[in-house]
Amino acid sequence: MINQLFTFSSTIERLCQGPLSEHLDAAIAAQGYGHHSIREQIVVIADFSRWLKQKQIDVQALESEVVDRFLRLRRRQQRIRRGDPKALQRLLTMLCQKGVVKPRKPPVADNAQTKVVAEFQRYLLQERGLSPLTLRNYVPVVEQFLAERFQNRAPNFAMLRAPHVTGFVMRHAHQLSPLRAGPMVTALRSFFRYLRYRGAIATDLAGCVPTVPNWSLSTLPRFLPAATVERILECCDRTTSVGRRNHAILLLLARLGVRAGEVVGLSLDDIDWSTGQITIRGKGGKSAQLPLATDVGAALAAYLRHDRPRSAARKVFLRHRAPLVGFANSSTISSLVMRALKHAGVESAHTGAHVLRHSLATSLLRQGGSLDEIGELLRHQSPNTTAIYAKVDVTALHTLALPWPGGGR
C-alpha cells in the first residue's frame, strides 16, 4: 500500500524504517479511510517507528505511556495533527489484538482500600459473572463507603456495625432520586455479602441496608401506539446505505424487542440463516435464540449484501465513516431512535431505544398475548418485570374495577 500512495523511493525507504515497518499496512487496512487520511496515518506511524528505533524501544515493550511520550515530543515540536493520537492508539490496539504486544496488567493497588475494591471487582466479574457496566455502578459506592468509614486507614471490617451502614445510606439517599438511590443500596448489599462470603464479617450487614422507597409497578410503561411505530418505520429514509442500516436496526428494536446494547453487540456469527434464528446475548452473559421475522430478516440480508462496509470487524452493524468498526456503545442506538422519531414527526416524552421495546410488549398484550409470552420474548428473568404491562390492558382492568359509590358522571 505504501508503494501505491508514495512516489519517491527515498520517501518509501524513510517510511519503512524502525520496528513498526512490517505493521504499517495492517495498521490502516480495511478501515475505510480516504487516501489523504491514510497517508497522514502512515507518516505519523513511520515517525513513531523511527523514534522507537532511536530510543531502542522494542515493539513488545509498547504501551500507552510510550505513545504519550512521543506525542508530547510532537507537541513541543508543533508537528502534531488532530488525528495523530487516535491513529497511534488504533495501532496499539491492533498490535495487542495480534498478540505482538501483551496487554499491560492493571497497576497494583497502592493501599489496603484499593486492594479490597480490586478483589471485590474480580469477585463480581469472575464468580458472579456481572458485566463491566454493573461494576461501574457498584465500585464508586463501595469506594465512598470505605473512604468515609475508614478515612485513609486499612479497613477493619470486624468493627463494622449496623449504624455505620444505615448512617451512610441516610446521609446520601436523600440527595438522590429513587432511581439512583436504588443502585446505591444494591451495591452495598452486594459488597457486604461478599465480605461475609470471604469471612471478613460474621454479621449479615447486607440485611441492615435500608430499603429506598420505590413503589413497585408505580409507573406506566412508556410506549408508542402500534400505528405510530409503523409510521416511524415507514418514514425511515431507505434511499441511502446509512438509512437502510438504520431501518434494519429499528426493525430489530420494534419487532423483536432487542435492547440497544444487544444491537451493538450483535455479531455476524449470531445469525443462523439456515434456521432463520438470531442469537441475542443479553444481560449477565445470558443468551437466547429468537426467530427472525420476515421483514427483519429481509432488511438484515439486504444490509449485509449491499450496504455494510467491507471490514474485518465481526459486528453486524458498523459505522459508515472511518474507522469502519462497530458502534462504541448503546447511546448511539438511542440517538438513532430519537432522530427517527423526529423525522417521523412523533412527539414523545421518551425517545430512547427502550420505548420501542415497551411498545412491542404493549401491542402484543392488546392483541391477546399473555404476560408469560411477553416475558419470554423480552427475556425477562422475573415475571414481576413483565407484570407492569398488565396496567395498560385497560379492557381487562375494567372487569376488576369496583363501582364508584353513588355512581359516576
Catalytic pick from 50, 74, 357, 358?
Answer: 357
Instruction: Please report which residue ranges of 257-330 form alpha helices under DSSP H.
Output: 260-265, 294-302
Residue 131: CB atoms within 10 Å = 14
Give residue for cell 470505605. 146
Cβ-count burial 351-389 (b if 16+ within 10 Å, e if not): bbbbbbbbbbbbbbbeeeeebeebbebbbbeeeeebebb
Q: How distant, in Å, are the alpha carbons of 196, 245, 304 from that of 242?
A: 52, 5, 12
Catalytic pick from 39, 281, 283, 343?
Answer: 283
Phi-psi region of 23 (alpha: psi -120 to 50; beta: other; left: phi over 0): alpha
Catalytic pick from 255, 259, 308, 379?
Answer: 259
Catalytic pick from 33, 194, 303, 389?
Answer: 389
Which 8-state DSSP code applies to residue 350?
A: -
52: Cβ–Cβ under 8 A, 6 or more apart, which residues? 18, 19, 20, 58, 59, 62, 66
Catalytic pick from 50, 308, 354, 358?
Answer: 354
Does the annotation count 259 as an active-site position? yes
Does the annotation count 389 as an active-site position? yes
128: Cβ–Cβ under 8 A, 6 or more apart, which residues? none
What cell does 300 get?
438484515
First-to-last C-alpha distance (Å) of the chain: 80
List residues with catalytic annotation.
259, 283, 354, 357, 380, 389
